[in-house]
Structure 1
Amino acid sequence: MADATDDIDKLYEFGERLNDAKDKSEHRQDYEGIIAAANGSVKAKQLAAQLIPKFVKFFPELAEQALDQHLNLIEDHELGVRVQAIRGLPLFCKDTPEQLTKIVDILGQLLIAGENVERDAVHKALMTVLRQDVKTSLTALFKHIGSIEDQSAEDFSTWDSIRKKVLLFLRDKVFPLKTELLVPQELMERHITTLVKQNLQDVTAAEFKMFMDFLKSLSLFGHKAPAERIQELVEIIEGQADLDAQFNVSDADHIQRFISCLSMTFPFFQKGCIRAQSSSTI
């Protein structure tokens, strides 16, 4: 018990010296002490989870070691330690943008966390990094949606669980805030449209409808959009319908996707927005 108290007292000392120092980089030994303390008691781990990301920017030569230790805290058996460590992750890329893709990738994997408070911490951390750099963050998140063919059999179950959680996060947290997050508007709406188009290979009918509803909500494809942009949407639907493939009546998802694609094109027919090639195809 005395050793645990001593560890916490030392952590407070390290933190206070770093807080007060004008040139924090001269206190490398204190920061190394904070990293080492992450192997201590539960309370020491929780305090280290606050201090490691807080001061990491002043010690770039220790950044990799600090992140590795912090990731150990994220895998700790104590929920309070994990939550505190998750909350600190955005600080690792706040002043070092080259780390942002890695942090988003880690947070994306953590979306499958089982405890509500843990998942909530992941959601908030992801929203923080999205607001730091929405373009890079979205690109990293969409990598979790990619092709099934890229996954090995033993990794498929975990990958599929993460993929579904990422899709839910995009639908529930990102898409409703598109006006706030997608800035500058035209540039970022085009970027997320490209990301969606690149990741439609293995979506279900319901997932495809979710993406199409989102794209149609963008100003890029709004009621004032030129005909060529509406045509772009129609071509996305055509590609998903896979009209050149042999129709398999025993494939329920294929049928559902085909019917869904047909229903999506009707409004465009009514508006007369589809070129002759598209109307003859569908």
Structure 2
Amino acid sequence: MVTIEVLYKDFGVLADAKDKAGEHEKEYLSILSATKGEPGEKRLASQFITRFFKYFPNHAGTAINAMFDLCEDDDAMTRKQAIKDLPTLCKSAPDQVSKIASALTQLMGTDDATENSLIQSSFISLFKFNSKGALEGIFGQILGDDETVREKAIKFLGAKIRTLPEETFDSHSEELLINMCKKVLQDVTKDEFIAIMEILKCQKTMTTVQGRQQLVDIVTEQAELDQPFEATDPDCVDRLTQCIKHAVPLFS
């Protein structure tokens, strides 16, 4: 069993080696094995795994899976430490953003408000490393089967995406975002429709005349104008009311 004392010793060897840390595989494997230990060892291992991750590309898969396990640990403090450390892996491996974004999105199903806030904060960090990858990860879960995760993930995007710096999304990322939103809109609840429309309206390409026309087309499709209008059906009335509300500002 790897103790805290051993972990600090392994850390010292790797830290002293600096750019040659990759030559000390034994110490890194020792740190990885500590993820099976006690809560104290696990929390320390989480910090050290991410700190030296870039020096051991051959163990990237093992390290990422070990971090995922820590994110789902029975101990709340261990989970929070791992969730906080997880995005650090992407500094040297932006190609892993999609996988890590998917994992963080799954964790959004938690009922712990503090933990969920930490998950969202870590997720936002991923946009800095690879915005396209982050979007692929979260929409992969939104379009999945877990309704709780879907609801919270859409709510998260609706609230946070407009607060991101303007340069976060390039043209490719924005195109992906719009296409993914259109897929989600094929089957949405009222709250999901409102959130997705808010996401779409704050995209650069949607501020043009052509963009506004796209939004009108989306709203028109949601309104189901080709179907008979049932004035006695509250859901039918509510759908039309919401669609009109979102359509009116789009017209000059």
Tell me whether the two structures share a fold, i.e. TM-score over 0.5.
yes
Q: 1:140 aligns with which of 132, 137, 140?
A: 137
Q: 2:119 aligns with which of 113, 118, 122?
A: 122
TM-score, length-normalised on structure 2?
0.88
**Post-superposition offset of 1:246:** 5.0
Which residue in 2 is equivalent to 1:14? 10
Which residue in 1 is equivalent to 2:180? 195
- CA–CA distance in structure 1, aligned partners of residues 177 and 112 of structure 2: 30
Q: Which amino acid aligns with 2:14?
A: L
Structure showing greater Rg: 1
- CA–CA distance in structure 2, aligned partners of residues 250 and 140 of structure 1: 41
Aligned residues: 251
- 1:122-144 Cα shifts (integer Å, max 9, x gaps): 11210111111112212321222
Q: Answer whether contact 1:104 1:126 (CA < 8 A) is retained.
A: yes
- CA–CA distance in structure 2, aligned partners of residues 137 and 213 of structure 1: 19
CA RMSD of aligned residues (A): 2.3
In structure 2, relative to structure 1, the CA distance for the partners of 1:50 and 1:236 (3 Å cut) is same
Q: Answer whether contact 2:46 2:67 (CA < 8 A) is retained.
A: yes
What is the percent sequence identity of the aligned residues? Answer: 32
Which residue in 2 is equivalent to 1:243? 225
Question: What is the 5 A alignment of 1:1-282?
Answer: 7-21=3-17, 22-146=19-143, 151=145, 159-177=146-164, 179=166, 181-182=168-169, 184=170, 188-222=173-207, 225-226=208-209, 228-247=210-229, 252-268=234-250, 271=252
**Post-superposition offset of 1:68:** 2.1
In structure 2, relative to structure 1, the CA distance for the partners of 1:53 and 1:253 (3 Å cut) is farther
Question: SS of the counterpart of 2:111?
Answer: coil
- CA–CA distance in structure 1, aligned partners of residues 218 and 197 of structure 2: 9
In structure 2, relative to structure 1, the CA distance for the partners of 1:76 and 1:261 (3 Å cut) is same
- CA–CA distance in structure 1, aligned partners of residues 15 and 232 of structure 2: 66
Question: SS of the counterpart of 1:113?
Answer: coil
Structure 1 stretches of 5 or more lacking a match?
152-158, 272-282
In structure 2, relative to structure 1, the CA distance for the partners of 1:172 and 1:267 (3 Å cut) is closer
**Post-superposition offset of 1:47:** 0.5
**Post-superposition offset of 1:247:** 4.7
Q: Answer whether contact 2:46 2:85 (CA < 8 A) is retained.
A: yes
**Post-superposition offset of 1:187:** 5.3
Question: SS of the counterpart of 2:74?
Answer: coil
Structure 2 stretches of 5 or more lacking a match?
none
**Post-superposition offset of 1:195:** 2.4
Q: Answer whether contact 1:204 1:257 (CA < 8 A) is retained.
A: no
TM-score, length-normalised on structure 1?
0.80
